[in-house]
Structure 1
Amino acid sequence: MLHKGAILTIVLVSYFMILLDNSVIFTALPNLQADLGLSSTELAWVQDAYTLVFGGLLLLGARAGDILGRKPVFIFGLVVFSLASLLIALAPAAWWIIAARAVQGVGAAIVAPSALSLITATFEGEERSRAVAWYSATAGIGASLGLVVGGAAATWFSWRAGFFINVPIGVAMLMLAPRFLPRSVALPGRFDVIGAVASTLGVGSLVFAILSASESGWAAPQTIAGFVTAAIILTVFVIAESRASQPIMPLRLFASRIRTGAYLTRLLYLGAMIGFFFFTSQYLQEALGFTPLQAGLAFLPMTLVNFVVAMGIPWLVRRFGDPPILIVGAVLTLAGMIWLSRITEDGDYLTAVALPMLLLGAGQGFAFAPMTTFGLAGATAQDAGAASGVVNTFHQMGSSLGLGILVAAAAAATPGTTGTAAIITAQASAALTTASLFLAAALVVVLALIAPAALLRPSRTAESASTAVAEKAS
């Protein structure tokens, strides 16, 4: 007998733990940097090591659940994630925390796809709709609460406390999972290990080259070596995917202008938003004098607007269609980012940060659902799982690559600047200005690739995407 309530609780709490850890780091960044004596590049790698491995192994993690069984794979992912969280909390130096964050990314890449698979396998019909709604709500709550939890932990205890929290949560879920999670039938198939490793190493080399350029210059030997290595490995990845019998990223998914546009839009959009969280949190604390807890609470206006707008998206899409909603979301996010990029050392939180955040929150609320829909548009039942995985992969890769570029832009903006507040303000302004360019490029992609094709067949786009996902889930 299935205990559906227990299954949903285990899945949602575990997924919440992953999301919490993805954002808990932001409000703790200044304390973490001071405690471990990290450079700006090392601080960026604390986040990038996690998102790179998470995104690079996400498709492989989903495949592992199908081939080896969701229950044992989910439990193994929880073990890895919980142990990595403990290692992060105990980190004595930069190399330790960066390595532990990479291991944590491995655990997240296993748990996240298995969590959604367990939901779709356990629930049907209206029950599945409610379970997926809870899953989506957990995503929003986890990301937002992570900022507050990270700030509270850093203010009252230490940045380490935000990671220690995962240990008892993980242990509790590991005690419940073997008893309540259902077993699934293992399916025949092959692991595309070459594709997973090549994609992770290729993008990792590219991020390394960009971060190296910010410290050593674009002509430095290690910078050039990084770009050359990235080009070679990514070429190997494309060739491997074109020849693999069961590729981790089927290249045929990019035959659609709509899907390709959605992937590129997500890459650019997330590249901008990761910089927003990374630099705004530091600006609030080091320029405006906020405590970590106050910085976490400072993001709540954006979160609330995001939630309210997202709740109305189903009705708005039925009324106007996905293309206009995505365009509005991209425009609002761009306007908010441009406004926020005008921050000054003695700026006022209400007018310089809070009000632009309202536009950013509304923009996110409008943009994310259509971006996801278009990323699945026209996918067959056979490719629906892969298409969903590619959406998440571009999400994580956009975060890693975008942060690398924005850190480089920030470093280039502060030669000769003195004083911590002046430096972080100049860096944040430069990074957010560059993020605005990302969003402008995302808007161009939407207008050039997605909107023209989608407006020609709006009903078919939405219908084919939802049908493929439903068939895959069944």
Structure 2
Amino acid sequence: MAGWRAIFLINVPVLLTAMHLCRLTRSAPPRKARAFNPLGQSVAIVALASLTLALVEAGQRSFTSPTVLGSLAVAACCLAVFVVTEKRRTDPMLPPALFASGRFTACCLAGFALNYGFYGMLFALSLRFRVLGFGAFETGLALLPLTLCLSGANLIGGTMVGRYGARIPILCGLSLACLGYVGLAAGIGIGGYAWLVPGMFTVGAGSAIAVTALSAEALSVVESALAGIAGGTLTTARQVGGAFGVACYGILLGGKDGIESTGGLQLAFLTATIVVLAALVLGAKALRANIEAEAC
């Protein structure tokens, strides 16, 4: 038996196919050469890692433990060094022009919020299913409605962007994700796997539709020379949101007892609802301001 590590091998043919398809696409727009910033890269990585460690350890210890306080201090110092370093460079790693657009900033915040809720949900549901006696295979089957919905909704999101632009699918996707987390909180309270399926479907559909549109919107509001940096920034915001989501869900669940009870899970899902709802409000405001500006 190859063991569970063999699951990562499925990525090999996918990546080879993607590399082949990239050769068939049209050439990328010219990009401005940028110098490598080793100090900025290093302190950014340490800052994010330290902050994530602090959140994870806070769930096991407390926010006043030396480990948590030390990690927060390291994160704050590294963040300060990063800001100072970026201000002194003529070609900063994160150009200010990126965030001059409220639409791009809103896209990054929405990406953070979506992954915060989504990856935290995967973490919480996987643990919940194991507590309910599901094995690894049964847990995978239990999450199948979510993964299948993601695949189909990605196609729907792309179609909606092509027909209506990015604004409508972003707002629709974020709204569906909010409803999905409310549905999961309610389903956990009622009890039974069947009550979780509608919430998983709705979260999967909303997240996939919104992410597809967010990528299109983020790249459309920046100069072509900054497209690569914009895409990388959005992806980083999403991954940071996922890391924070898993850490914060762990704090809200409060260990094994929290996973076995419904209160901790409901609080985690409702917190995700609030985070995504805040992104929805900010996104709607930024996109509305753009429409009003174009009308003028």
Change (3 A) 1:390 1:452: same
Contact 1:409 1:434 in 2 (8 A): no
Measure, in 2, the Cα distance between the counterparts of 1:400 and 1:365: 18
Change (3 A) 1:123 1:15: farther
Aligned equivalent of 1:124: 25
Deviation at 1:356, TM superposition (A): 1.1
Aligned equivalent of 2:240: 397
Aligned partner of 2:150 among 300, 306, 310? 306
Aligned equivalent of 1:134: none
Partner AA of 1:306 in structure 2: L
Change (3 A) 1:458 1:269: farther
Aligned partner of 1:208 among 32, 47, 53? 53
User: How many percent of aligned residue pairs carry the same amino acid?
Assistant: 24
Change (3 A) 1:345 1:259: closer
Change (3 A) 1:116 1:284: same
Aligned equivalent of 1:16: 11
Aligned partner of 1:435 among 248, 269, 272? 272
Pair 1:277-2:178 in alignment:
no
Aligned partner of 2:216 among 362, 365, 373? 373
Contact 1:266 1:394 in 2 (8 A): yes
Contact 2:157 2:210 in 1 (8 A): no
Measure, in 2, the Cα distance between the counterparts of 1:443 and 1:188: 35
Aligned equivalent of 1:198: 43
Change (3 A) 1:335 1:188: closer
Change (3 A) 1:222 1:115: farther
Change (3 A) 1:234 1:393: same
**Which runs of structure 2 are paired with 1:177-188 in the superposition (5 Å)?**
none
**Which runs of structure 2 are paired with 1:254-333 in the superposition (5 Å)?**
254-287=99-132, 289-333=133-177
TM-score normalised to the size of structure 2?
0.83
Change (3 A) 1:339 1:200: same
Please list the CA deviations of residues 389-447 of structure 1 after superposition, one character each: whole Å capped at 9, or x if unmatched.
111111211111222222112218x8xx5xx9625x44433322222222122212212
Measure, in 2, the Cα distance between the counterparts of 1:119 and 1:294: 34
3-state SS, counterpart of residue 182 of structure 2:
helix
Measure, in 2, the Cα distance between the counterparts of 1:458 and 1:193: 40
Partner AA of 2:275 in structure 1: F
Deviation at 1:383, TM superposition (A): 0.9
Deviation at 1:277, TM superposition (A): 0.6
Partner AA of 2:120 in structure 1: G
Deviation at 1:283, TM superposition (A): 0.9
Please list the CA deviations of residues 20-64 of structure 1 after superposition, one character each: whole Å capped at 9, or x if unmatched.
xxxxxxxxxxxxxxxxxxxxxxxxxxxxxxxxxxxxxxxxxxxxx
Deviation at 1:345, TM superposition (A): 8.0
Contact 2:110 2:280 in 1 (8 A): yes
3-state SS, counterpart of residue 97 of structure 2:
helix
Contact 1:267 1:398 in 2 (8 A): yes
Change (3 A) 1:421 1:390: closer
Contact 2:127 2:259 in 1 (8 A): no
Pair 1:385-2:218 in alignment:
no
Contact 1:345 1:421 in 2 (8 A): no
Please list the CA deviations of residues 180-218 of structure 1 after superposition, one character each: whole Å capped at 9, or x if unmatched.
xxxxxxx97532111211111111121222223223322
Deviation at 1:223, TM superposition (A): 2.3
Measure, in 2, the Cα distance between the counterparts of 1:455 and 1:245: 33
Aligned partner of 1:347 among 185, 191, 215? 191
Measure, in 2, the Cα distance between the counterparts of 1:435 and 1:214: 17
Aligned length: 284
> More displaced, 206-215 or 323-332?
206-215
Contact 2:131 2:260 in 1 (8 A): no
TM-score normalised to the size of structure 1?
0.54
Pair 1:336-2:174 in alignment:
no
> More displaced, 230-239 or 269-278?
230-239
Measure, in 1, the Cα distance between the counterparts of 2:134 and 2:176: 27
Contact 2:117 2:272 in 1 (8 A): yes
5+ residue gaps, structure 1: 1-12, 20-111, 129-186, 460-474
Please list the CA deviations of residues 163-184 of structure 1 after superposition, one character each: whole Å capped at 9, or x if unmatched.
xxxxxxxxxxxxxxxxxxxxxx
Contact 2:215 2:234 in 1 (8 A): yes
Deviation at 1:245, TM superposition (A): 3.6
Deviation at 1:278, TM superposition (A): 0.5
Change (3 A) 1:189 1:427: same
Aligned equivalent of 1:68: none
Aligned equivalent of 1:221: 66
Deviation at 1:373, TM superposition (A): 1.6
Contact 1:313 1:366 in 2 (8 A): yes
Aligned equivalent of 2:79: 234
Aligned equivalent of 1:471: none
